[in-house]
Structure 1
Amino acid sequence: MSVVGIDLGTLNTVIAVARNRGVDVITNEVSNRATPSLVGFGPKSRYLGEPAKTQEISNLKNTVASLKRLAGRSSKDPDVQIEQDFVSAPLVDVGGQVGAKVTYLGKEEHFTATQLVAMFLSKVKVTASTELKLPVSDVVLSVPPWFTDAQRRSLMDAADIAGLKLLRLINDTTATALGYGITKLDLPGPDEKPRRVAFIDIGHSNYTCAIVQFKKGELSVLSTAYDRHFGGRNFDKALIDHFGKEFKEKYKVDIKTNPKALVRVATGVEKLKKVLSANASAPLNIESLVNDVDVHSFLKREELEELVQPLLDRATIPLEQALADAKLGVDDIDVIELVGGCTRVPSLKERIGQFFGKTLSFTLNQDEAVARGCAFACAILSPVFRVRDFTVHDIVSYPIEFTWEQSPDIPDEDTSLTVFNKGNTMPSTKILTFYRKQPFDLEAKYVKPDMLPGKTSPWIGRFSVKGVKADSKDDFMICKLKARLNLHGILNVEQGYIVEDVEVEEPIPDADGEKKDGDAMDTDQPNRSADKPKMRKVKKQVRKGELPIVSSTASLDQAAKDAYAEKENLMIMEDKLVADTENVKNELEEYVYSLRGKIDDVYSEFASEEEKDKLKVKLEDTEDWIYGDGEDASKAAYIAKADEIRFVAGPIIQRFLDKQEAERQAVQKAREEAEAARKAEQDAKKGNKDTPEYKDQEMTDADSVKPDSIEEPGNGA
C-alpha cells in the first residue's frame, strides 16, 4: 500500500510519497517533478496534465485551468468572474455550481468543477501508481486555509469520484510547518520557550502567512492570514498588460483580441519574470505572434518593480494581520521561512525582510515543501507506516454558529449560538444540549459572511433531529448533539442521543476531599473499615437512546457521486482505448517502415522477385491507407492490416529465421564438439599422470627440491 501527499496547485501539482524511510517527490510521464493542473477535451479523448499543456494553445476553448479555485463555487461568485481571466474555456452554471462548457467527442458537454478536479486526480492517481508500481489509495490533499466548508466538501467528493481514500485535507501552510518540524531534532522541550516560525507561502495565485509555534513532538498554528489574489499570475498579468500596450503601438498587434497570442505572451512573460529574478535585465522575443509578425522587447528589473508596485504595496498586509491575530510582535518571531515560487522575486523578498528586520530562511524546497508535508501527514494517519510522534493543532478560519427554531414550550429560549470561534483549535468537538418534545432542525452557518471569499453563501448545512417526543410524564427530552469540526475542516453533527436525569447514591468525600496525613491505614484500625461511609443522593445524566439525524450539506449525495464515478470510469476506458489504438497504429507504421528497409537488404536472398514485388505493393497500399482512410480507423482495423502484411511477409521472414536458427545450431554444435575435444584432452593428461614413470619422475623432482627431508642410513647412530 502506498502513502501519497498531493499539493494540488493552481498552476502545477506536486506528488510526494513516503518511502525509503523518508519522503520522495515523484516524476510524471515526461520526468517532470510538477504536473500542469490542466484538463483538456478533444474529439477522441481527454488530455490530462502534460498532454493538456502540450495542446493548450491549439485547444484553448476546451482546456480548463484553475481547477482548485473553481471547486465548490457558484457561477455568480465574483471570484469566479476573476478566474475567467485565467481560464480559456467558458465557465457556466451547472446545477447551481460553476462548471465548464467544452466540446468532447464531438458533442457539447458541461462538466462541474468537482468533476474536473476528479478527472485531474484520476491522472494523479495513475502517475503515482505507475511510479510506485503499486495501487494508490490513501492520500492527503492540500488546500488554502481560506477554503470554506463547501469548497472542502467539493474536493472530498472529487477524491471519492477518482477512487481515492482521502485521509485528510490539510491547509497549505500547516503541511509546510509539519514538513519543517517533524524533521527537526532540536525543538524546545515542554518546559522551554517555544520556537515561533512565520511560514510565508506565495504561489501562483495565493499569498498565505501562518504563525506556528513548535515544541518537541507538536506544532500549534497560532494564526493564519492571506491575500487570495496575490501571486505569480498577478505579476504576469501586470507584464502582459504592459507588453500588450507596447505591441499594439509598436507592431499594431492587439493580443487582447487574440486568445492564442495572449497565451503565447503569457508564456513569454512568465519566463521573462524568472530571468529577471536573477538578472538585471532580459529580452522578450516571440516569433510569429500574429500573422507572421515577430515581436521583440526588453525589460529591466527596475521597470518590473515599477509595474508591480501596487502588488508590492500589499505585501506586508497578511504579515501584519497574522501577527495581530497571534497577539505577537515582530521580535517574537524566531524564524521566517519562505516557500512558493513567487518568493523568488527579489523586490518581494526585500519587502518581507524589511518588515521583520531579520534574515529570511529558505531551508525548505520552495516548490515541493507543501507536497512533502502532505506525505508526512498521510504517513502519520496511515497504519502502514511508523512515524515519529508529532501532533498537529490547526485553527478555525471562520467563526461558525448554529441557529434553530424556538421551542413553543420555551418562549425565552435563545435561537442561536456561536459554537466554533475563529482561532479555535481544529479538529474540535462540542456537545449541544436541547430540551424538546418534538423533532427539530438546526442550521449551521458562518457568523461573518463578509470574511468569506467572494460572495460565498454563509450556509453550511441543515441537520434534522428525528425521534424526539415527550417522555412518559409529558416532559422534555434532554437531547445531546455532537457537533464536530473534523480533520478536513468540515462541520458535521455526527451524533444525537437522549439522556435522563437519574438519582444515584455516592459516598461523601472528606471535607478536603483527601485522606489526612495523620490518618492510619485501614489495616491499622480494623474497626474503621467496618464503618459504612456516609452517602448522598445526586442526579446524574444517563444515556438512554440514540437520535437519528438527517444531514443536508454541500456534499454530493451518494447517488450523484456514483453517477459521476461511473461517467469518469467510462471516460477513463475511452481514453485508454484511444491510447491503445494510437499505439497499435504507431506499431503498424513502424512495421511498414521496418519491412521496407529490410526487403532489399536483410531478406533479399530469402524472397523471389515476385514475392518482393508483392510485399512492396502491400506495404505501399498499407501506408497510403494509414495516411488516408485509415487515419481515424479502429484498433481492430490496424491489427487486421498488420495481419495482412504478415500473411505476405511471413514465408520470407520464416526462411530468414530458419537460416538463422540453422546457423545458431551449427555454432552450438561446433562449440559442443570443441568442448568435448577439450575434455578428452584433459582426461588423457590425467591418465598419464597416474602411470609409474610419471610417479618416479615426481619423486626425483621432490629429491632435488627438498634433500633434507629424506633420512639416510646411519644418520641416527
Structure 2
Amino acid sequence: MSVVGLDIGTFSCYVAVAAGGGIDTVANEYSDRCTPAYISLNEKNRSMGTAAKNQATTNVKNTLTCFKRLLGRQFSDPQVQAEINDYLKPYKIISGQADDTVIQASYMGEVQTFTPEQVMAMLLTKLKDTGEKAMKTKVVDVVVSVPSYFTDVERRAMKAACQMANLNCLKLMNDTTAVSLAYGIYKQDLPPENEKSRNVVFVDVGYSSTQVALSAFNKGKLKVLAVQSEPSLGGRDFDLVLVKHFIEEWKTKYKIDAYTRPKAYIRLTQECEKLKKLMSANTQQIPIDIECFMDDKDVHGRLDRAKFEEMSASLLERIEGLFKRLLSVSKIGVDDIYSVEVVGGSSRIPSIKELVTKVFMKEPSTTLNADEAVSKGCALQCAILSPTFRVRDFAIQDCQQYPITLSWQGGGLEEDSSMEVFPQFHPIPFSKMLTFYRKEPFTLDAKYSNPEQVPINQTGLGSYNITNVQAQADGQSSKVKVKVRVNNNGMFTVQSASMIEKIEKTEEPEPESMETDNGKTDEQSENKAESMDTEQGPTEPANDTENKDAEMKEPSENKEKTDEAEAKTDKKEETPKKETKPKVKSVDLPVISNVSGLTGDLINRFIETENQMIMQDRLEKERCDAKNAVEEYVYDMRDKLCGPYEEFCQEEVRENFNKLLGETEDWLYDEGEDQNKQVYLDKLAELKKSGDPIASRYREAEERPGAFDALGGALQLVRKFMDSVAAKDEKYSHLENADIDKVQKCLSEKQEWFDKQMNNQNKLKKYENPSVLASQIRQTKQSLESTCNPIINKPKPKPKEEPPKDNKKDEKKEETKEGEKKEETSKASGDGKTEQSTNGPAEMDVD
C-alpha cells in the first residue's frame, strides 16, 4: 500500500513517501525533488512539471501556473481580479456560468475551457506518476497540503481535484500542521512525559503567502493554533516589488514597457527571482542583465539589499503584524516559547529572519528542510492513517480558522434564530449535537460569522434541509437531533439527523407547561437549539450527553433500590400507581445538502475527461518514442557505417544504405514530421532489413573469438581427464568403462566439430555471413559439459562401515553355548541328572 504526502504550492510541489523506515522526498524524471506547478497545453498532448515550465516563454498563452489561487473562487472575487491585474497572467481567465472562474487555452488544435479544479487535477496526475515511478507501485491514498487560510469552498475544490486525478485523499492537512508533525516526529529534544508542554512557533513563508502557527507538544500530543494568515504575502510579492521597480526604471531609460509584452514580463519575473536570491546572500550591489529583452534591446540594472528592503517596507510591516497577532491571540509571552522554526522557500530572506528575532526574542531555527518539511509531514500523516504502517502514536488537534454560525428557519414556527456553533480557533475535528423541537421539515444555513475576516467573497457554507419531520400523534412538536461537524479536512458538514418518535402514550398526562407549544421559557424554547452534545477528536465516539436543559433519565440502580423498598412496605397498604414514561424510538431523517462547489455529475464528467487526456498523453508519448527511435537509428547507423561497421559490408551495400538513411532523414523533417505510430514502426523495420545483417556480422565478430576460446578450454579439460584415466590415476579408478567410453566419444565429436567450424570461419571475409554463430558455439560447449562433467566429477563410493557390536547379545550367545555344552556332557555321563538352566542367578553372569 502506498503512503504518499503531497505538498502543493503555488509555483512548486514536492512528493514524499514512507519507505525503508523513514520519510523520503522523491525526485522526478529530471532528478529534481522540486516539481514546478506548471501545465502546458499543446496540439497533441500536455506537458506538466519541469517540461511545462521550460515552455513558459515559447508557449506563453497556453502555459498555466498559479491556478491554485483560483480554486473554488468566483470570477468577481477580488483575489481573482488581483491575479489577473497585479500578477499579469499570460493565459486568459474568463467568467463562466454563474460567475465561475474559467481558464481558456488552446488544446488539441482548438480553444477549450478548463476549471481551476481540472488544471489542478492535471498537476496531481503528474505528481501521482512521479510517486508511482519512485515506489514502483500504484499510488491511491494520499494526504494533500493546503494553506491554513483556505476556506470551506477552497478545500472542497481541492478534494474534487483529487477525485478527478483518481486519488483517495485521506486528509487535507494545513501546511503549518504538517510542519509541526514533521518537527514532532523527528525532533529528539521534545519534552518527556514528566515535563510540561513546549510551545514552538512555526513560520512558513512560501512563494504566495505567509503562515504562522503556535504548536504545543505534550506527551505525544500536538495542539496547533494557526492565526489568520495573509494570503498575498509571500516570495512572489517581494519579486513583484523588483519587477515594478525595473519596469519603471527601463520605461525612462530604454523607452520600453514590459507590461505590454507577456513574454518579456515572464523573463523579467524569472530574473528578478534570481536577483532576490543573490541579494539574500550578498550586501553589495547585484547586476541584472537581459539580452534582447524587447525590440532587440539589451537592458541592464543594479540593486542592493538595503534598497530592496526599503522598497519592501510595507510587506515587512505586514509580516511583523502577523507575528505580533499570534502572540496576542495565543496569550503567551515570548518567555513561554521554546523555539521558532522557519520554513518555506522565501524564509531565507534576511529581513524576515530579523523580524523573527525582533518579535519573538529568539534566533530562528532551521533544523527542518525549509522546502520539504510540509511534504514529509503529510507523508507522516498518511502513514498514521494507513493500517499497514506502524507509526509512533501522535494525537493531532488543529483549530478552526474562521467562526461558523448556524441559522435555522421553518419547521412550523414563524420566527428564525441562529447561533455560533464553532467559534474562532475552536479545536477540530469536532462534532456537536443540536436538539430542535419541530413539527415540519426545516432548513439549516451555515455561514462564516465575520465576512470581513474571510479572504473570499463566498461566506455561505451551504444549506441543509432536514426532511420528513412531522408532529407527534398528539400534535406536539417532535424532538429532532442534528449532528454537525468540522471534519479532519477542515470542512463543515451536517452529518446526520434523527427524530425521537413516541410509540406509547403515558398513563398519566404530563404537566401542560412542559409540553405546550406556546411555552417560551428560557429552558425550553422551540425556536432554538435546546441542547448541544459534543464529540472531540476524529476517533473518539460521540459523547451524547445533553446539558442541564435536556431530559434526565432515572438511573437503573436507583430504580432497583426503589422497587425493593416498596416491596418491604406493608402489603395491606396500597401503593400509588407509578407514572410510566413513554417508549420512544429514533428515526433517521434524510438530510439534503446544498453546498457550493462542483456537483457529483460534473465531477464524474471531469474524471472521464481527465482519463481521456491521460490516454492521449500516453498515445502521443508512444508516437514520439517511435519517431525518436527512427531518428536515433538513422544517426547511429550513419556513424557506425564509417566506423566499426565499415569492414562488415561491401562498398556498394554501404553506399546504398547511406543513401537510404539520408532519404529517411529528409522524410523525418518533411512529411514524416507528424505521422502515426505505425508509420514510424514500418519505417524502422525497413531500415533494419538493411542494417541488421551488418550489425549482426559485427556483433558475431566481437563475440565469436571468446566463444571459441571458451569451447577450446572446455575440450582441453576433458582431454586432461582422459590422459589421467589412461595413466591409471587412482582418482578415477571407480569409474566404469562404459562411462569412460561415453566421454571419449563426446570429446571426439566436439573436437571434430570445433576444428571444422574454426577452419571454415577463417576462410570467410568479414562482410560475409559467418559459418557458425557465437550462440551455436556456446550451445556446443554447454552440451559437452552436460555430458562429461557429471562423469568427471562423480565421487568415489564410501567404504561400508561394520555395525557396532552389542556386548550384551554376545554374552547371551556365549552363555547359551556354554549351557549346551554342559547339557551334552550330562547326557554323555549317563547319570540321568540334568544341569541347571543357563538362565541362572545374576552372580553367574561374569564378564
Please name the residue that 1:24 is paired with: 24
The range that moved more, 247-256 or 583-592, is 247-256
The range that moved more, 607-616 or 193-202, is 607-616
Provide closer, same or farther for how the CA distance between residues 627 and 444 of structure 1 changes in structure 2, counting only shifts above 3 A. same
Cα deviation, residue 269, structure 1: 1.3
| CA distance in 2 between partners of 1:492 and 1:379 (Å) | 26
Please name the residue that 2:464 is paired with: 463
The range that moved more, 675-684 or 616-625, is 675-684
Please name the residue that 1:439 is paired with: 441
Cα deviation, residue 472, structure 1: 2.3
| CA distance in 2 between partners of 1:690 and 1:557 (Å) | 86
Provide closer, same or farther for how the CA distance between residues 685 and 38 of structure 1 changes in structure 2, counting only shifts above 3 A. farther
1:90 matched to 2:92? The reply is yes
Aligned with 1:365 (options 330, 349, 369): 369
Provide closer, same or farther for how the CA distance between residues 371 and 608 of structure 1 changes in structure 2, counting only shifts above 3 A. same
Cα deviation, residue 175, structure 1: 0.8
User: Structure 1 or 2: larger strand share?
Assistant: 1
Aligned with 2:656 (options 614, 618, 633): 614
| CA distance in 1 between partners of 2:556 and 2:387 (Å) | 44
Aligned with 1:182 (options 182, 185, 190): 185
| CA distance in 1 between partners of 2:582 and 2:80 (Å) | 53
Please name the residue that 1:488 is paired with: 489
Aligned with 1:577 (options 597, 619, 641): 619
| CA distance in 2 between partners of 1:222 and 1:171 (Å) | 11
Asked if 2 retains the 8 angstrom alpha-carbon contact of 1:506 and 1:537, the reply is: no
Deviations 1:121-160 (Å, cap 9, x if unpaired)? 0000000001110111111111111111100000000001
Please name the residue that 1:518 is paired with: none
1:355 matched to 2:359? The reply is yes
Residue 592 of structure 2 aligns with an amino acid whose one-letter code is: V
Please name the residue that 1:382 is paired with: 386
Please name the residue that 2:632 is paired with: 590
Provide closer, same or farther for how the CA distance between residues 605 and 466 of structure 1 changes in structure 2, counting only shifts above 3 A. same
Aligned with 1:644 (options 683, 686, 695): 686
Provide closer, same or farther for how the CA distance between residues 496 and 617 of structure 1 changes in structure 2, counting only shifts above 3 A. same
SS, match of residue 468 in structure 1: coil
SS, match of residue 469 in structure 2: coil
Asked if 2 retains the 8 angstrom alpha-carbon contact of 1:94 and 1:112, the reply is: no
Asked if 2 retains the 8 angstrom alpha-carbon contact of 1:223 and 1:323, the reply is: no
Name stretches of at least 5 consecutive residues in structure 2 with no aligned partner.
507-552, 570-574, 734-847
SS, match of residue 2 in structure 1: coil
Cα deviation, residue 655, structure 1: 4.9
Provide closer, same or farther for how the CA distance between residues 185 and 653 of structure 1 changes in structure 2, counting only shifts above 3 A. closer
Cα deviation, residue 507, structure 1: 4.4
Residue 429 of structure 2 aligns with an amino acid whose one-letter code is: P
Deviations 1:37-58 (Å, cap 9, x if unpaired)? 1111111211111111111111
The range that moved more, 670-679 or 186-195, is 186-195
Please name the residue that 1:121 is paired with: 124
Asked if 1 retains the 8 angstrom alpha-carbon contact of 2:410 and 2:441, the reply is: no
Cα deviation, residue 291, structure 1: 3.5
SS, match of residue 197 in structure 1: strand
Residue 70 of structure 2 aligns with an amino acid whose one-letter code is: L
Name stretches of at least 5 consecutive residues in structure 1 with no aligned partner.
515-526, 692-717
SS, match of residue 314 in structure 2: helix
Provide closer, same or farther for how the CA distance between residues 43 and 180 of structure 1 changes in structure 2, counting only shifts above 3 A. same
Asked if 2 retains the 8 angstrom alpha-carbon contact of 1:505 and 1:538, the reply is: no
Asked if 2 retains the 8 angstrom alpha-carbon contact of 1:214 and 1:220, the reply is: yes
Deviations 1:9-41 (Å, cap 9, x if unpaired)? 111011111111111111111011111011111
Residue 343 of structure 1 aligns with an amino acid whose one-letter code is: S
The range that moved more, 652-661 or 143-152, is 652-661
Asked if 2 retains the 8 angstrom alpha-carbon contact of 1:114 and 1:155, the reply is: yes
| CA distance in 2 between partners of 1:141 and 1:168 (Å) | 7
Asked if 2 retains the 8 angstrom alpha-carbon contact of 1:506 and 1:536, the reply is: no
Please name the residue that 1:40 is paired with: 40
The range that moved more, 480-489 or 497-506, is 497-506
Please name the residue that 2:8 is paired with: 8
TM-score for both structures, normalised by structure 1: 0.88
Aligned with 2:310 (options 281, 306, 309): 306
- How do residues 533-552 of structure 1 correspond to structure 2 at under 5 angstroms? 542-552=584-594
| CA distance in 1 between partners of 2:269 and 2:199 (Å) | 39
1:416 matched to 2:418? The reply is yes
Asked if 1 retains the 8 angstrom alpha-carbon contact of 2:146 and 2:172, the reply is: yes
SS, match of residue 431 in structure 2: strand
Residue 649 of structure 1 aligns with an amino acid whose one-letter code is: G
Cα deviation, residue 556, structure 1: 2.3
- How do residues 511-522 of structure 1 correspond to structure 2 at under 5 angstroms? none
| CA distance in 1 between partners of 2:144 and 2:246 (Å) | 37
| CA distance in 2 between partners of 1:70 and 1:109 (Å) | 18
Provide closer, same or farther for how the CA distance between residues 249 and 612 of structure 1 changes in structure 2, counting only shifts above 3 A. same
Cα deviation, residue 552, structure 1: 1.4
| CA distance in 2 between partners of 1:333 and 1:505 (Å) | 49
Residue 92 of structure 1 aligns with an amino acid whose one-letter code is: I
Provide closer, same or farther for how the CA distance between residues 216 and 679 of structure 1 changes in structure 2, counting only shifts above 3 A. farther
Deviations 1:551-596 (Å, cap 9, x if unpaired)? 1112422221111011001111111111111111111011112222
Please name the residue that 1:157 is paired with: 160
Cα deviation, residue 74, structure 1: 0.6
Asked if 1 retains the 8 angstrom alpha-carbon contact of 2:141 and 2:170, the reply is: yes
Provide closer, same or farther for how the CA distance between residues 529 and 688 of structure 1 changes in structure 2, counting only shifts above 3 A. farther
Please name the residue that 1:425 is paired with: 427
Aligned with 2:218 (options 193, 197, 215): 215
| CA distance in 1 between partners of 2:334 and 2:314 (Å) | 24
Aligned with 1:398 (options 402, 405, 413): 402
Asked if 2 retains the 8 angstrom alpha-carbon contact of 1:402 and 1:444, the reply is: yes
| CA distance in 2 between partners of 1:274 and 1:564 (Å) | 40
Provide closer, same or farther for how the CA distance between residues 602 and 357 of structure 1 changes in structure 2, counting only shifts above 3 A. closer
Please name the residue that 1:676 is paired with: 718
1:330 matched to 2:331? The reply is no
Please name the residue that 1:228 is paired with: 231
Residue 646 of structure 1 aligns with an amino acid whose one-letter code is: K
Residue 212 of structure 2 aligns with an amino acid whose one-letter code is: C
| CA distance in 2 between partners of 1:663 and 1:540 (Å) | 101
| CA distance in 2 between partners of 1:424 and 1:600 (Å) | 77
Residue 613 of structure 2 aligns with an amino acid whose one-letter code is: M
Provide closer, same or farther for how the CA distance between residues 530 and 659 of structure 1 changes in structure 2, counting only shifts above 3 A. farther
Please name the residue that 2:839 is paired with: none
Q: Which has the higher contact order (CA 8 A, sep 6+)?
A: 1
| CA distance in 2 between partners of 1:390 and 1:654 (Å) | 63
Please name the residue that 2:825 is paired with: none
| CA distance in 1 between partners of 2:236 and 2:480 (Å) | 51
Provide closer, same or farther for how the CA distance between residues 141 and 630 of structure 1 changes in structure 2, counting only shifts above 3 A. same
Provide closer, same or farther for how the CA distance between residues 621 and 247 of structure 1 changes in structure 2, counting only shifts above 3 A. same
Residue 587 of structure 1 aligns with an amino acid whose one-letter code is: A
Deviations 1:269-312 (Å, cap 9, x if unpaired)? 11111111111122212222224322222222111111211212
TM-score for both structures, normalised by structure 2: 0.75
Asked if 2 retains the 8 angstrom alpha-carbon contact of 1:505 and 1:536, the reply is: no
Cα deviation, residue 404, structure 1: 2.0
> How many pairs align?
673
- How do residues 655-674 of structure 1 correspond to structure 2 at under 5 angstroms? 655-656=697-698, 663=705, 665-674=707-716
Provide closer, same or farther for how the CA distance between residues 689 and 400 of structure 1 changes in structure 2, counting only shifts above 3 A. closer
1:318 matched to 2:319? The reply is no
Provide closer, same or farther for how the CA distance between residues 216 and 667 of structure 1 changes in structure 2, counting only shifts above 3 A. same
| CA distance in 2 between partners of 1:626 and 1:190 (Å) | 71
SS, match of residue 430 in structure 1: strand
Asked if 1 retains the 8 angstrom alpha-carbon contact of 2:228 and 2:401, the reply is: no
Cα deviation, residue 207, structure 1: 0.8
Provide closer, same or farther for how the CA distance between residues 32 and 653 of structure 1 changes in structure 2, counting only shifts above 3 A. closer
SS, match of residue 498 in structure 1: strand
SS, match of residue 226 in structure 1: coil
Cα deviation, residue 530, structure 1: 9.8
What fraction of aligned residue pairs are identical, expressed as a percent?
Answer: 39
Cα deviation, residue 684, structure 1: 6.5
